[in-house]
Amino acid sequence: MRAAASLWATALFSQTKPEETEYYSPVPKVVTPGAAYGKPPSDAIVLFDGKNMDEWVPTKDTSSTSKWTVAKGVMTVNKANGDMQTKRRFMDYQLHIEYQIPSYITGSGQARGNSGIFLAALPWGAGGYEVQVLDNYKNTTYVNGQAGSLYKQYPPLVNACRKPGEWQTYDIIWTAPRFNEDGTLLSAARATVMLNGVLVQNNAVLKGDTPYIGAPEYKKHGASPIKLQAHGDKSEPISYRNIWLREL
């Protein structure tokens, strides 16, 4: 122990100049922040700016021109046209997205403003890795299925939901899973999630996809679209706005 401590002390005190622990390259690139919170920074990919859905296609038929309704700067779920996903595919990113559940929402539990943000949409099984969208302002449901949860895996650390009728904000850091050549998992997916500026998932390590029934599992995939869910219940339409991301 004394010998090890002596070596550590010798190494520490042999550095006599501050310059010995400073370096100047590579220089970080300059990114101009948005003019206000929630506004896209200069290096963002804007996926919805309130004008059109040019960055989106229907999941059930990516060649279709059917979209959700766009009016007054927001896009509103059209359940007849189903889920929507991005044309582009992504691996790791920082995502900003805002949603609104209408003030006149009815129902209870999962049938109250149900939607979801699939951080990587997959064409099989559960369809990807879902962050839940739901009204949980004084609405009780199973905790690993409430707003802010990584669906059926991790409940949110806290309930940070605003009232229906108010705009809610997700800021998400997503690290996609990696796979070996033989399809086995190399590194699991991870997600950090802020809901309305409050931390609700802290670098959570996903156990696989997020199925409604059954256990999560991983299957090999690469870059994937982001998907927004048009849920099959009778909840009133949900709206989204100001969607952008930064690739990491």
Residue 176 placed within a domain: yes
Residue 139 placed within a domain: yes
Residue 142 placed within a domain: yes
Q: What pLDDT sits at residue 130?
A: 97
**Strand 239-247 to 45-48 pairing:** antiparallel
Residue 5 placed within a domain: no
Q: How far is CA 82 from CA 57, 77, 101, 113, in A?
A: 10, 8, 18, 15
Q: What pLDDT sits at residue 1?
A: 55
Residue 14 placed within a domain: no
Q: Which two tokens stand for residue 88?
A: 């582009």
Q: What pLDDT sits at residue 80?
A: 87
Q: C-alpha angle with apex 201: 196 to 156, nearest 5 degrees?
A: 75
Q: Which two tokens stand for residue 15?
A: 């550095």
Residue 31 placed within a domain: no
Q: What residues have CB less than 8 Å from 193, skipping those under 6 apart?
A: 131, 148, 150, 156, 170, 171, 172, 173, 199, 200, 201, 204
Structural domain for 141, as ranges: 43-247
Q: What pLDDT sits at residue 111?
A: 84
Could you tell me if 85 and 57 are in contact, meaning their C-beta atoms sit under 8 angstroms apart? yes
Residue 7 placed within a domain: no
For each of the chain's 248 residues, which pLDDT tens digit applies?
566 566 555 555 566 888 888 889 999 999 999 999 999 999 999 999 999 999 999 999 999 988 999 999 999 999 889 999 999 999 999 999 999 999 999 888 998 888 999 999 998 877 899 999 999 999 999 999 999 999 999 999 999 999 999 999 999 999 999 999 999 999 999 999 999 999 999 999 999 999 999 999 999 999 999 999 998 677 778 999 999 999 99
- Looking at this protein, which amino acid is placed at residue 213? I
Q: In the chain, how many domains are there?
A: 1
Q: Which two tokens stand for residue 28?
A: 């970080």
Q: What pLDDT sits at residue 97?
A: 98
Residue 134 placed within a domain: yes
Q: What is the CATH number for 144?
A: 2.60.120.560
State pTM to two decimals. Answer: 0.91
